[in-house]
Structure 1
Amino acid sequence: MTTQTAPVDLYYWPTPNGHKITIFFEETGIPYVVHYVNIGRGDQFEPSFLKIAPNNRMPAIVDPEGPGGQAISVFESGAILQYLGRKFGKFYPADERQRTQVEEWLFWQMGGLGPMAGQAHHFRQYAPEQVPYAIERYTNEVNRLYGVMNKRLGERDFLAGDYSIADMAAFPWVRSYHNQGQDLESFPNLKRWFEKIAARPAVQRAVEVGQDHRRNLSEDKQAQKILFGQTART
Structure 2
Amino acid sequence: MIELYTDSSPNGFKITIALEELGLPYTLRHVRIEQGENRQADFLRLNPHGRIPVLVDHETGITLFESAAILLYLAEKTGRLLPTLPQTRWQAMQWLLFHASSVGPLIGQRVHFELESGEKNPAAIERYRQLSNAAFAVLDQRLASHAYLAGEEYSIADIAHFGWSHIARIIDFDFSAFTHLSAWHERVASRPAVRKGVSLPAPATGA
TM-score range, shorter chain: over 0.9
Larger Rg: 1
Q: Which one of 45, 62, 67 corresponds to residue 51 of structure 1?
A: 45
Aligned-pair CA distance for 1:130? 1.2
Partner in structure 2 of residue 229 of structure 1:
none
How far does residue 98 in structure 1 lie from its aligned partner after superposition? 2.1
Counterpart check, 1:64 vs 2:49:
no
User: Are positions 1:125 and 2:119 aligned together?
Assistant: no
Structure 2 residue aligned with 1:4:
none
1:11 to 1:167, Cα distance in 2 relative to 1, 3 A: same
In structure 1, the partner of 2:181 is 190
- TM-score, normalised via structure 1 length: 0.83
Highest RCO, 1 vs 2 (Cα 8 Å, sep ≥ 6):
2
Q: Distance in 2 between matches of 1:208 and 1:179?
A: 13
TM-score by length of 2: 0.94
* Shift >3 Å, 4+ stretches: 178-182
- Structure 1 gap segments, 5+ residues each: 1-6, 219-234
Report the Cα distance in structure 1 between the residues aligned to 2:107 and 2:85, rounded to whole angstroms. Answer: 31
- The residue aligned with 1:164 is 155
What is the match of residue 86 of structure 1?
A: 76
> Are residue 101 (structure 1) and residue 91 (structure 2) matched?
yes
Identity %: 39
Per-residue CA deviations over 1:59-116 (Å, capped at 9, x if unaligned) read 01100111xxxx1101100000001100101101233322211110001001111010
AA aligned to 2:180 is N
Q: CA deviation at 1:173?
A: 0.5
| Matched letter for residue 183 of structure 2 | R
Structure 2 residue aligned with 1:200: 191
RMSD: 1.7
Aligned to 1:155: 145
Aligned partners of 1:125 and 1:179 also within 8 Å: no
SS in 2 for 1:93: coil
Alignment-derived partner of residue 33 in structure 2: 39
Task: Note the alpha carbon deviations across 1:168-219, whole angstroms, 9 max, x for none.
Answer: 000010123357764332111001100011111110011011226x677x6x
Letter in 2 for 1:176: I
Q: Residue 37 and residue 172 in structure 1: after superposition, are their counterparts in 2 closer, same or farther (change >3 A)?
A: same
Which residue of 13, 19, 23 maps to 2:13? 19
CA distance in 2, matches of 1:13, 1:180: 17
Q: Name the count of aligned residue pairs.
A: 206
Distance 2:87 2:169 in 1: 35
| Structure 2: distance between partners of 1:79 and 1:107 | 10
Would the aligned equivalents of 1:124 and 1:179 in 2 still touch at CA under 8 Å?
Answer: no
Give yes or no for contact 2:170–2:205 (8 Å, CA) kept in 1. Answer: no
Whole-angstrom CA distance in 1 between matches of 2:176 and 2:42: 45
Kept in 1, the 8 Å contact 2:54–2:64? The answer is yes
C-alpha separation between the residues in 2 aligned to 1:103 and 1:54? Answer: 26
